[in-house]
Structure 1
């Protein structure tokens, strides 16, 4: 490579990096959200334990991605809980990926202007921007090793040196252990050699070259199966292979046809546009017999293929981080074609260059808008925690906090925020998790519910608070549902605050209908003082969806009026009723004989 070409490549790469830096500079306003577990594990585990966490498939509930685990461990020990460092790392990876795309397209096509335009457009397209904003997303890291493998493979095909082959293979292994989509890399390496280097497929000649890649996939696929067969997303969303995958492909294809969508396209015009683009694309591909267009289509589809088995509830354009490369290259080809037709005229050529710049500018503006929206979201999820931290600069040792139906901030964010502020001194739990409260196992426990403005209200747990219950628990209803346990933080209630009760239900069989829960605070004469009526878990767990023998952790928040009568003869009545008929369900004895239409818990005292 001569000196002028090196300067050309360096200068173009520098321009691409600067464009990425400017485009994603607004990401520095985004705080951490979700994905806190990487930071918590990095802070609490030594390196051998941390490696075990990411290498042993028994410990993993999502993808088998140990390279991502090491990446997050490194970032934590460099930047701690400073999100800016993570954003700089992600932005750097994204810039590197755009530069790798520039080098790959230029190497394979020898059209460096087109390669630069493709990389420039890819660098700023907004559809996948969340993948760059979000510290816990692996796509920029996986994309780096994915594209690096392709570039190093082209170098091997040029030199045929064993050293270059070994380096390309190492990059492939890193890509494979970064994200599952790398299993398709051997196919693309083969197609590049066949279609760009004109090497005819010869099994005897090619088998030794590709066998190591395929052999590496075998143990990896076994590890992936071990994880996904009991994985969190597979269990939560349900993965299956079938014709529905083609239907699920359509919205992803709509985003690729118009890569300025940042959410699921719902406008019918988006799908009309997709139909027009798809018809034109297939028509040109068939008419010109273009292997390149076929390769780009395969690249776009296969890199999202593992997602297509999930329902569309799992849809997000960020998963198109690599697939969007195909869209960027097609746009660059169109600009190059337009340039070749009218670019000889100075004014017309300037117009094409202006159009490319306009696309980049509009895309960058949309990325900035998305960053501003996400920054505001991450600010809002911190508001409840900020209120708590101001009221409690410290917590006593062995403290426990339990959040009831947080309207905005998830358990995972609360857990991460508490860990970053208080360390391991505070255990966090929430109704989000569906796990038993068990707050009296700790020396100091606090329950937080939320008022109508979303402000957290603290209730201290009375460790010795004792209530009587009748009938005794577990108590069985006339339908196959059992109330196994209840918990209240205290028997001393305050005017203007709330009584919180946690109810552990369990269905012994499949429930066909939906029933609602009632919790009524009454005085000694049976007068209603405060009440809660509604479906379990605020409507998120209708009884018809309960899995048999699974404990459902429900919560009822009974808000007391500011002028509630002061006294000490209050009791809590709990049960279920049919929403259609308003008829209460009976609790029954072992013989099925009705004994009561409510559980009575007492007694409670209202103070102040």
Structure 2
């Protein structure tokens, strides 16, 4: 240590770094439960021993991780903050363990620090922290790192208690996630690359292989939902692209523009390898060889590559489809330790050269950490969006007042790049997806995100549909409906339409389908037109009001008969002389209640926000055909035929 450096400086620096890590992931404390978290619907029906016996209802056999969730849920209910605090804590502990393990391996302090920093801000780690069921990867990694720390003993015969503790940590790893089973092979890699340093590793690895083999024999006999089928070769090759990107991630911001320019934009779904993909895979192999040749100490890059290969192999063999693996960044968390170690070795080789190379190493590390930080901060936005969507559903279910619920255009996935642009300087993959929901258990998603318990209601009480006309190419895995079919649901359902500002619009309050004896709260707050003007002989304008706070004109329409034609609404803003000073035209009810789907008796609340800076003396309101421009004729008792009606403007202050 430099004589000019205070003794407490390293602790202050580490404290600042872990404070930064916690600040990055702190938003997760406010996140909800997403699609894979529907496993809570299975856990709620299990006892503590049942999770170890296995059940087909659980997709995988991960009894230790599921038991932890089971205990926390029994103790704290569905409190997302507690679950996500555990996930954040696991990531911080794993970062500290990476540093401790590398120091025990004999890594120079700067290399161990660089690797820990790179792993702590690993840009693909967000899903394992912010997505609750993704934290099983962090649990398995914790077991593997703890087992490794215990195994790295320089004595020829370590105490049996230490060996037993290492094997127990290994057992905890693969009972949290199946990737943990590769740990004995990691020990062999350490034994090969750090010869003579840890003499007991060979014996411990043999015991680990025996324990793992016993687990696999048991695993094959247990009931579970995962059939354990191998991936098709083409899918494995596709997934290798994403894996290679995780290995070379510090170069991503440089490679992505080059690959885009050379080979064009990357399709969302691959399904076939192109020339650029083969070049990328070949280049990854060549770069890896050069990293191992160039890194100092050389064992760091070699061991990092071995750790990465071991960590990613189960995903490549069993996951396969790029549409799956590329949307699951959590699969890169365990391999990410190897990537961090290898790049730490590259930076150490630069640092040892001194002078300009040393400065270059610092600049490269700073740039990589900055870009990773930006990715992680931006990634939190996806989970924040997903939480807003799901908690909005829960709030809607509370307001449904016991009626069946229909969610329209519920987003399937908020991770796609077209959903909300974000900072993602990589070529492959969707940058991390949150699978929000399919239609299998919407009632459970409502419940675990703070809504009422509707899980005991009849099947289909809560369901979703896709209204393609509203949002073309919207990705919702639900049955398609048109406006007429949706109108029939309005008679007895609470219908909520998702809007791109992440709000749920209560369509049943905007489009009030015919219901005998139903009270209309809108009538109490409108200026009635008596008699109401009649448009095209089938549509009545019952009244209007002006909302001063939002500067919105609200019109109340009623269908005297089925219009059978789609009309648009024009709202002309007039000055005291009758001159046009602005417009607030638009589709009926912002497109949510097309007139060609109305039935007699339907009432529609139609809102038109005024442009800023305009205060009209009067409104001219009418209907027109968007295709032809023709206006609907208007008939009102005591007035000559016209094509619009005049309404008074807001009162002058």
TM-score, structure 1 normalization? 0.62
1:423 maps to: 453
Match of 2:55 among 35, 52, 58: 58
1:96 maps to: 93
Q: 1:99 to 1:212 in 2, by over 3 A?
A: same
Whether 2:299 is the aligned partner of 1:295: answer no
Whether 2:321 is the aligned partner of 1:311: answer yes
Match of 1:326 among 338, 343, 355: 338
2-structure distance, mates of 1:150, 1:446: 60
In the TM superposition, 1:175-186 aligns within 5 A as: 175-186=173-184
2:24 maps to: 23
1:360 maps to: 369
Q: 1:153 to 1:10 in 2, by over 3 A?
A: farther
2-structure distance, mates of 1:312, 1:244: 6
2:140 maps to: 142
Larger CA deviation: 327-336 vs 214-223: 214-223
Cα deviations by residue, 1:544-565 (Å, 9 ceiling, x for unpaired): xxxxxxxxxxxxxx99856524
1-structure distance, mates of 2:201, 2:99: 28
| Superposition deviation, residue 189 in structure 1 | 1.2
Are 2:63 and 2:175, in contact at CA under 8 Å, matched by a contact in 1? yes
Are 1:175 and 1:182, in contact at CA under 8 Å, matched by a contact in 2? yes
Are 1:131 and 1:318, in contact at CA under 8 Å, matched by a contact in 2? yes
1:257 maps to: 248
C-alpha RMSD of the superposition: 4.4
| Superposition deviation, residue 357 in structure 1 | 3.4
In the TM superposition, 1:194-593 aligns within 5 A as: 194-198=192-196, 209-226=204-221, 230-231=225-226, 239-240=230-231, 242=233, 245-258=236-249, 267=260, 268=263, 275-283=282-290, 285=292, 292-309=300-317, 310-316=320-326, 317-342=329-354, 352-353=361-362, 355-392=364-401, 395=402, 406-407=410-411, 410=437, 411=439, 412=441, 414-418=443-447, 420-423=450-453, 426-427=456-457, 429=460, 430=463, 447=493, 449=495, 451=497, 455=505, 457=507, 561=596, 563-565=598-600
Q: What secondary structure sits across from 2:144 in the alignment?
A: helix
TM-score, structure 2 normalization? 0.58
Aligned length: 446
1-structure distance, mates of 2:411, 2:361: 49
Q: 1:6 to 1:108 in 2, by over 3 A?
A: farther
Larger CA deviation: 76-85 vs 308-317: 76-85
Q: What secondary structure sits across from 1:382 in the alignment?
A: helix
Question: Which stretches in structure 1 are left out of the alignment for 5+ residues?
Answer: 436-444, 461-494, 497-526, 531-557, 568-608
Q: 1:193 to 1:369 in 2, by over 3 A?
A: same
Are 1:401 and 1:446, in contact at CA under 8 Å, matched by a contact in 2? no
Q: 1:36 to 1:452 in 2, by over 3 A?
A: closer
Q: 1:105 to 1:195 in 2, by over 3 A?
A: same
2-structure distance, mates of 1:286, 1:365: 31
Are 2:123 and 2:373, in contact at CA under 8 Å, matched by a contact in 1? yes
